[in-house]
Amino acid sequence: MGEEDDRKDTLTGIIVNQGGSFSGGRNGQAAAPCGELTPEGTAVCMALFKKVYLGLTMGESFRFPVIVGSDQQGRAWTGSYSIIADGPRLFEGRQLTRAREVMTLKANGGIPVISISTKYFEPDDSGVYKILFNSGVSYNPVSQCTLPSSPRVGDRGTLGTFQGSDGSTVTVSWALKGALHGHSVLEVSSEVTGDTETSREVDSYLLDPTGVPATITLRATSMDTTVTLSGDRAQDGKEG
């Protein structure tokens, strides 16, 4: 994911810069209520999820105020994660929609590291226009597809390939898996290839029957370090 001293714009970058090797949380699986697995072929409406993920409605958000785990040295890791919809925005002379992903992470009560990715989307749901990280790195799409509005459990696909201003390339894919008691898990996987390193991150959203995430599990692997963090969504749907 680039040089360790300045790349803190992803989960892996934060952990490597903090010098941690992390494993914990919920074993990389989003927890779900008891019941039967949602069968393959079941359609899941993504309208509410995409409203926030694509930044369509200003002020709407998915907030996970506490994500936790521990590393192999027994240190406690804590943080938070949010997706915040900013609604329509004028950017580079274009009318777009904007969403921000904000993650804060610290080890053993240390100094928090903040990662912010700002994503601009075409308003017709045709895909990403540009992604900006607070590290200064930006990504432009090379090729892309959109997340379906009503995918079925068992479906999977590619969201796109993005070229970074630092020379890295990111390939993003998705898969929808069955969970318990009418829930499903949307996995969004990102593989980052740089000059000297390849890393992978999987963000797993446990979706309730309405398509709203109840739990998130973040898992990243880079430089022989695997990181897993999990947390539950705040019941208040607005940005705090």
Tell whether 2 is covered by a domain. Answer: no
157 inside domain: yes
Q: What is residue 13's predicted lDDT score, i.e. its pLDDT? A: 52
Please give the pLDDT value at position 196: 77
Tell me the three-class secondary structure of 114-161, residue by residue: EEEEEEEECCCCCCEEEEEECCCCEEEEEEECCCCCCCECCCEEEEEE
Q: Is residue 107 part of a domain?
A: yes
Q: What is the mean pLDDT of each run of 10 residues along the chain (240 residues)?
A: 43 46 37 69 96 94 92 77 97 98 86 94 94 96 95 97 96 97 96 87 96 93 79 70
Q: Is the distance from CB of 212 to CB of 49 less than 8 angstroms?
A: yes
Of 230, 185, 224, 176, the residue nearest 205 (C-alpha): 185
Write the CB contacts of 196 (distance below 8 Å, at least 6 apart in sequence).
none
User: Is 240 a member of any domain?
Assistant: no
Rounded Cα gap, residues 201 and 20, in angstroms: 16
Pick the closest to residue 193 from 169, 226, 159 (CA basis): 169
Give me the residue label for tokens 């008691």: 181
Global pTM value: 0.83
Give every CB contact of residue 225 below 8 A, 6+ residues apart in sequence. 12, 15, 16, 20, 21, 22
Q: How many Cα atoms occupy the beta-carbon half-sphere of 30 within 13 Å?
A: 28
pLDDT of 107 reads 74
**92 assigned to some structural domain:** yes
* Alpha-carbon torsion, ordered 123, 114, 229, 169, to 10 deg: 60
In a domain, 54, yes or no: yes
Contact 14, 140 (CB under 8 A): no
Give the SS3 label for residue 182. coil
Domain annotation covers residue 238: no
Domain that includes residue 203, residue range: 11-232
Q: How many CB atoms lie within 10 A of CB 156?
A: 12
Total domains in the chain come to 1
Q: Is residue 5 part of a domain?
A: no
